Amino acid sequence: MVKTITIREEVYAALTKVKKKDESFSELLDRLLKSTSSIGLLTKLKGSIELKQKTKILSEIYSKRLEMR
């Protein structure tokens, strides 16, 4: 199923800059949505977490990294 969406000119221009040469806009949006994983979320949350919470979150991240190795 195909849907038509409306976006502002400046949003279209920004999307065009990050779109790969042989990539459709659907593929681009899919890629962008998938890339907003933990890193994107952490970037958005940057500065909004108290120091105590940061320490706990970082220790959890480090322990998960060790588990993955």
Distance CA 57, CA 64 (A): 11
Count the Cβ atoms, other than its own, within 10 Å of residue 19.
16
| Residue whose C-alpha is closest to residue 22's, from 13, 33, 14, 31 | 31
Handedness of CA 5, 9, 15, 16 (dihedral sign): positive
What is the tens place of the pLDDT at every residue in 17-29?
989 999 999 998 8
Residue found under tokens 């221009």: 13
The angle, 0 to 180 degrees and rounded to 10, between the axes of the packed helices 9-18 and 25-35 is 80
The pLDDT, as a whole number, for residue 36 is 62
Q: 27-60: per-residue pLDDT in tens?
A: 988 887 776 666 665 666 666 656 666 677 788 8
The answer to whether residue 16 scores a pLDDT higher than 70 is: yes
